[in-house]
Amino acid sequence: MNRTRLIFISIIAVAVLIVAGSLIWRSATGTPVDAGLTVERPETVTVRVIVALPVEPWVRDAAERFNAANKQVEGSQVQVEIIAMDGLTALGRWDRNDFGALPADTTPDQISEAQQAELADFPTAWIPDSRYLVELANASYKERLGRDVFLTDGQYRARPIAISLFTWGIYASRADVLQEALGEISWETIHQAATTAGGWPALGGDSAWGFFKLAVPDPSKNVGGLAAMIAAAGEYYGRTDISVEDVTDPEFQQWLGELMGAVTNISGGSAYTAEDFALFGYSVGDGGQLLESDLLQNMQGVLTRWEDPLVIRYPEFVTWFDFPFTVWVGPETSALEKNAALEFQRYLLSEDEQAAALASGLRPANPDVAVTASDDSLFVKWADQGVQQVVPRTTAMRSPNRDVLLALLRWYELNVTK
Amino acid sequence: MSRSSQNRRNKKGGTKASKRRSWLIIGLVFGLIFTGCAVTSVLVGRQVLDAIFQREAITENAAALTWAADSADLTVAVSPVMAPILAQRVDAFNSLSQRTTDGQTMQVVLTELAPEKMVETSLGQPPFQALVPDSSLWLNQIDQRWAADHPADSGGIAPRRVGDPTRFAISPIVLAAWEDTARSLGWPDAPVGWAEIQRKAISDPNFKWNHPNTQHATGLLATLAEFYAGAGLTRGLTAEIANQQSVLDYVRDVEATVRFYGEGEDVIVQRLDEEGRDFLDAFVAQEQTVIRWNESHGSRDRLIALYPKEGTLWTDHPLALLELGEPGETAVTDNQRRTFAAFGEFLLSSESQGAFLAAGYRPADVGIDLSASGSPFAGTDAVDPSQPKTTLQIPSAQVVEVVQNVWYYTKRPTNVYLVVDTSGSMAGEKMDRTRTALQSFVSQIQGDRDKVGIVEFGSGVKRFEPLRTLNDGGRNQMLDVIAGMEADGYTALLDAVWQAQDDLQTVADGEAINAIVVMTDGQENDSYRDMADLRRSFEDSRTPVVVFTIAFGNDADDDLLEELARIGGGQFRRADETDIEELYRILSTYF
């Protein structure tokens, strides 16, 4: 055999050995066989945003406009996908780690291809109803991973995209009778109405109205239901900071139980109570404390369907929702996805989109946009029904801690739904 | 040895050594190549084997319902009352051939199911990903029972089985009554309530009314109203109150006036069409049914929607996605979620909302004015879009369950004979399916006062099992009788029916619903009695007996069975091997 042949055969042998050696190495270290050796820059990056129900219609429309604008981040086109979910339901899913966050000290390159594929659906960002839900989710992950997964400062910090507050929404015909009989609308007035044995006739109303019916979202489906109960506790105790001791006090629980006895549909309680006002009218609720934006969105529908307008009254103890846009900072999503999420966040805070939020009855988070900024601002349209551009002097309820929330949920489960 | 030969030998020896070295190198190289190939083969082969084993795992799991990871096909379970209009909307949606971002065509498939059955199925491994029961209260039952089976860790937030629903069309539940009946109850001058209907039913033996069984929202509401009236309340019903003897007695008295239960208002409307207004004076239905009836029958026989003054319930037809994906359960795919969202959006489009309004529903788009010109609510006093003014309080899911269970003990009892053809033509799959269907029927009958008997016929009556209460022992005995059925002989259909009718007349239980369910696959050819005998017997009977007939397959005598159903004031149905079990299950809801 001549030298040329020997060299040729040797080169082939070495090549085969390199391939085999490489396969053995990858197999031993768990590196996926078809993992690329170059940095990939996808053509499209998808941002999955879990969005609380009150802002979902606006955010979904905004996402469609954003997608249509072909926005780019680091050379990749950004597409936003909206997942509507009540804040409390989402918190439960974070708590149970339903989305599949990786264990501490594990990164995506250390897991199998199949596990990586599962991470493809991991949410990039979350817009819950209130900042305190973010704090609760963080607390849960801190226990599990030893670190925050949503940041409160820095580039990826949670930023409110709109705000709204809980107000009284009552059918005008009922509000007149109630105020005449019991005075200004408050939780105490509502409690008296709820416990009046003779129902509406005893209060001076029409016998066809039956008993006073309280509209409260089911707290297990809508965080607004919990907010209403916390606001009721605030007024009951005359303070903003509510503890577990407060909500487990037997006297308070009896008072709350009497109040909840006026809820009409305990079994089919809806997450969308203001929408229920418009759909089912006064048959399911004469009034209740609901999110201002929800009420404003349904004012026209109520008028069209039932010819008896809603009036809005502001309570003394107010619960605010600030809808923080919160980016997941764990390794489950890439830096590109996080930056794309920030791009969408900036888009939502733009003046045009903040003005668009007014049409959903939301108060802009961008201070440069006034509540009267657009022609179709619901704050202008329904001023005669009691909505106020500047919220009157009220006391803001403080965010309750997890134990208070769970205690109230447990009470509701044991005393109302069972 | 010469020098030259030595050189030759050396040269020869050197050449040999050189050749040996070459072969050694070549051998070494081929050895390395072989080793390399072997290692590669093992690694690649392992992946192939992995893939094969994975495929096998899926095949092993084939019994469980599954779909492709990128499937955009969405199966939706829908209640019977909403099925017809929703089927039209599904066709319209599918014709759009919308695509997901990865190019899959979005398709929706409907499957019809009673709401209570949806609850049961959703808690297991359902053959659907989304559902449209007639009321949200069923969704709550699913979530409550799911949470009880899957408690959250350390009192945390309970998991939910059902996602946030979308409502696209609603309708209040009303008492539908003929105009003269409505006037006799006080309409339009005075509000009419559940109490008036119940009083009328108890005091007037000629008053015929009906409500579906508690598997439907309409039936459940009517039953709840009876419990409330019995307790003298309009809210605050608890399990303890529902179980009080005085309440149970009241409900039993009212239920004794119900003509029959059955599948739901769609079947009632069909019967009214067939038998005219004498069939019933009033029944519980959606407001939409009243609109639909009046539109198709003009002003001659007009129905009036009475909105009960104590309060009513709404059917809100929520479209909801199930959060499937438990261990061993195929999860809902992203594409199915996209189809769900697109379908929900489609149902809220102006085209679909217009279609729901035209069908007599109140569309979810509250911008649509119900009293506007062209609306089926405009220009009529048969329905009132400003009603209802109040609702009856719907208690918790647990109290609702108690009411459903207690209802079986208060409802009108049933004496039903299953008259079953086991002639020679039934041999094979027909007989197997029949046994399964009969067993399903016996299992569905749940009241402790309900009795079932069996008349098995071929060449004459082969076996007569008298009425037996379906307690545990009675039920098992009936199941054994059914399991022992064998096909042979001719078809003595009329003799078998005669014997069942004769026994019901002998028992003469006027409080109960007395019924005969007859099934045959062939022609009458072996009876001593004839149709004239049977006709006389039904005409002369003191205890009313209702007859349901089933033509199994294509060879049955439809005319004879239709005539039997007619003289027995019941229904004639067709079935084959694929749906005989479902038909018996449906018929069981009549009792």
Domain residue ranges of chain A, discontinuous segments joined by +? 44-161+323-349, 164-320+384-415
d(CA B422, CA B522): 10
Percent of chain B with pLDDT over 70: 88
Q: Which two tokens stand for residue B281?
A: 């004076």
Give Cβ neighbours of residue A152 (< 8 Å, ≥ 6 apart).
Answer: A158
- In B61-135, which residue ranges form alpha helices assigned H by DSSP? 83-95, 115-122
Residue B447 distance to chain A (closest CA, Å): 25
Residues B273 and B301 in one domain: yes
Residues B456 and B563 in one domain: yes
Q: Is there a contact between A264 and B309 if contact means CB atoms under 8 Å apart?
A: no
Question: Among A65-69, A244-248, B59-63, B479-483, where is mean pLDDT lowest?
Answer: B59-63
Write the pLDDT tens digit of every residue in B165-189. 899 999 999 999 999 999 999 999 9
The more confidently predicted of residues A345 and A264 is A345
d(CA A369, CA A354): 7
Residues B557 and B473 in one domain: yes
Distances (CA, A) of A84 to A56, A245, A296, A415: 6, 34, 20, 29
Q: Specify the pLDDT at position A151.
A: 85
d(CA A95, CA A246): 25
Residues B472 and B551 in one domain: yes
Write the pLDDT tens digit of every residue in A65-109. 999 999 999 999 999 999 988 888 899 889 888 888 888 888 888
Q: Is there a contact between A96 and B159 if contact means CB atoms under 8 Å apart?
A: yes
pLDDT value at B36 more than 90: no
Q: Specify the pLDDT at position B26.
A: 67
Task: Output the average pLDDT for chain B.
Answer: 85
- Residue A400 has what DSSP assignment? P
d(CA B226, CA A153): 59
Interface of A with B in 355-374 (CB under 8 A): none
Q: Specify the pLDDT at position B51.
A: 39
Q: Specify the pLDDT at position A40.
A: 63
Q: Specify the pLDDT at position B512.
A: 87
Mean pLDDT value across residues B67-87: 94
Q: Give the full edge-to-edge strand order of the sheet including B545-552.
A: B460-469, B451-458, B414-421, B513-520, B545-552, B572-575
Give Cβ neighbours of residue A78 (< 8 Å, ≥ 6 apart).
Answer: A44, A45, A47, A66, A67, A71, A72, A340, A343, A344
User: Would you place residue A418 in the very low, low, confident or very high pLDDT band (cuts 50, 70, 90)?
Assistant: low
* Architecture of the domain defined by A44-161+323-349: 3-Layer(aba) Sandwich (3.40)
Residues B444 and B520 in one domain: yes
d(CA A63, CA B542): 71
Bridge-partner residues for B209, per DSSP?
Answer: B258, B282
Secondary element (H or E) of residue A72 = strand A72-73
Which residue, among A89, A144, A195, A283, would best test binding to B if mutated, counting the most B CBs under 10 Å from its CB?
Answer: A283
Question: Which CATH number do you get for residue B238?
Answer: 3.40.190.10
- B431 and B486 Cβ atoms separated by less than 8 Å: yes
In-domain check, residue B169 = no
d(CA B440, CA B435): 9
In-domain check, residue B376 = no
In-domain check, residue B364 = no
In-domain check, residue B156 = yes
A22 close contact with B: CB closer than 8 A = no
Mean pLDDT value across residues B1-13: 49
d(CA B299, CA B487): 52
Question: Among A87-96, A233-242, B281-290, where is mean pLDDT lowest?
Answer: A87-96
Percent of chain B with pLDDT over 90: 47
pLDDT value at B63 more than 90: no
Question: What ipTM did this prediction achieve?
Answer: 0.77
- B180 and B301 Cβ atoms separated by less than 8 Å: no
User: Would you place residue A321 in the very low, low, confident or very high pLDDT band (cuts 50, 70, 90)?
Assistant: very high
Give Cβ neighbours of residue B528 (< 8 Å, ≥ 6 apart).
Answer: B492, B495
Secondary element (H or E) of residue A164 = strand A162-171
Query: Class of the A164-320+384-415 domain?
Result: alpha beta
Q: Specify the pLDDT at position A26.
A: 60
Q: Specify the pLDDT at position A34.
A: 46
Question: Which CATH number do you get for residue B520?
Answer: 3.40.50.410
Question: Among A15-19, B27-31, B277-281, B292-296, where is mean pLDDT lowest?
Answer: B27-31
- B500 and B456 Cβ atoms separated by less than 8 Å: no
Q: Is there a contact between B36 and A17 if contact means CB atoms under 8 Å apart?
A: yes
HSE, side-chain direction, 13 A CA sphere, residue B502: 11
Q: Specify the pLDDT at position B60.
A: 32
Residues B445 and B401 in one domain: no
Q: Is there a contact between B137 and A267 if contact means CB atoms under 8 Å apart?
A: yes
Q: Specify the pLDDT at position A271.
A: 57
d(CA A170, CA B445): 47
Distances (CA, A) of A391 to A163, A180, A275, A386, B52: 12, 24, 23, 11, 66
pLDDT value at A218 more than 60: yes
Q: What is the CA radius of gyration of chain A?
A: 27
pLDDT value at B571 more than 90: no
In-domain check, residue B40 = yes
Question: Among A131-135, A263-267, B238-242, where is mean pLDDT lowest?
Answer: A263-267
Residues B153 and B285 in one domain: no
A159 close contact with B: CB closer than 8 A = no
In-domain check, residue B369 = no
d(CA B136, CA B128): 18
A409 close contact with B: CB closer than 8 A = yes
Q: Specify the pLDDT at position B225.
A: 86
Write the pLDDT tens digit of every residue in B361-390. 999 999 999 999 999 999 999 999 999 988
In-domain check, residue B53 = yes
Q: Is there a contact between B158 and A284 if contact means CB atoms under 8 Å apart?
A: no
Question: Among A50-64, A347-361, B214-228, B517-531, where is mean pLDDT lowest?
Answer: B214-228
Write the pLDDT tens digit of every residue in A122-162. 999 999 999 888 988 888 888 888 888 898 788 888 999 99
Q: Specify the pLDDT at position A264.
A: 77
Distances (CA, A) of B293 to A40, B36, B175, B176, B541: 64, 81, 14, 10, 33
Distances (CA, A) of A198 to A195, A248, A288, B474, B543: 9, 30, 20, 50, 46
pLDDT value at B44 more than 80: no
Domain stop point among B44, B63, B82 = B63
- The count of residues in chain B is 591
Residue B371 distance to chain A (closest CA, Å): 9
Interface of B with A in 176-215 (CB under 8 A): 191
Question: Among A7-11, B306-310, B356-360, where is mean pLDDT lowest?
Answer: A7-11
User: Would you place residue B58 in the very low, low, confident or very high pLDDT band (cuts 50, 70, 90)?
Assistant: very low
Of B47, B311, B400, the CB nearest to A267: B400
Residues B268 and B388 in one domain: yes
Residue A367 distance to chain B (closest CA, Å): 32
Q: Is there a contact between A417 and B398 if contact means CB atoms under 8 Å apart?
A: yes
Residues B273 and B388 in one domain: yes
Other residues' Cβ atoms within 10 Å of the Cβ of residue B37 = 13
B79: Cα separation from own chain's centroid = 7
Of B33, B167, B311, the CB nearest to A13: B33
Q: Is there a contact between A85 and B164 if contact means CB atoms under 8 Å apart?
A: yes
Mean pLDDT value across residues A391-415: 84
User: Would you place residue B40 in the very low, low, confident or very high pLDDT band (cuts 50, 70, 90)?
Assistant: low
Q: Is there a contact between A33 and B47 if contact means CB atoms under 8 Å apart?
A: yes
A4 close contact with B: CB closer than 8 A = no
d(CA A134, CA A323): 10
In-domain check, residue B358 = no
- B517 and B454 Cβ atoms separated by less than 8 Å: no
Task: Output the average pLDDT for chain A.
Answer: 87
- A231 and A394 Cβ atoms separated by less than 8 Å: no
Q: Which two tokens stand for residue A187?
A: 């939780």
Other residues' Cβ atoms within 10 Å of the Cβ of residue A208 = 15
Bridge-partner residues for A325, per DSSP?
Answer: A159
User: Would you place residue B61 in the very low, low, confident or very high pLDDT band (cuts 50, 70, 90)?
Assistant: very low
Closest CA to B114 of B219, B209, B210, B211: B219
Handedness of CA A96, A99, A105, A106 (dihedral sign): positive
User: Taking the complete model, does pTM exceed 0.90, yes or no?
Assistant: no
Q: Specify the pLDDT at position B22.
A: 67
- In A39-127, which residue ranges form alpha helices assigned H by DSSP? 56-68, 87-95, 113-119
Residues B256 and B201 in one domain: yes
Residues B458 and B510 in one domain: yes
Q: Specify the pLDDT at position A103.
A: 87
A297 close contact with B: CB closer than 8 A = no
Mean pLDDT value across residues B206-210: 85
d(CA B448, CA B475): 11
Write the pLDDT tens digit of every residue in B110-169. 999 888 889 989 998 899 999 999 998 889 889 888 988 887 766 667 788 998 889 999
A225: Cα separation from own chain's centroid = 13
Domain stop point among B63, B81, B109 = B63
Q: Specify the pLDDT at position B29.
A: 64
Domain that holds residue B256: 174-312+382-407
Residues B26 and B88 in one domain: no
Distances (CA, A) of B19 to A127, B12, B31, B223, B235: 78, 10, 18, 102, 106
Q: Specify the pLDDT at position B354.
A: 97
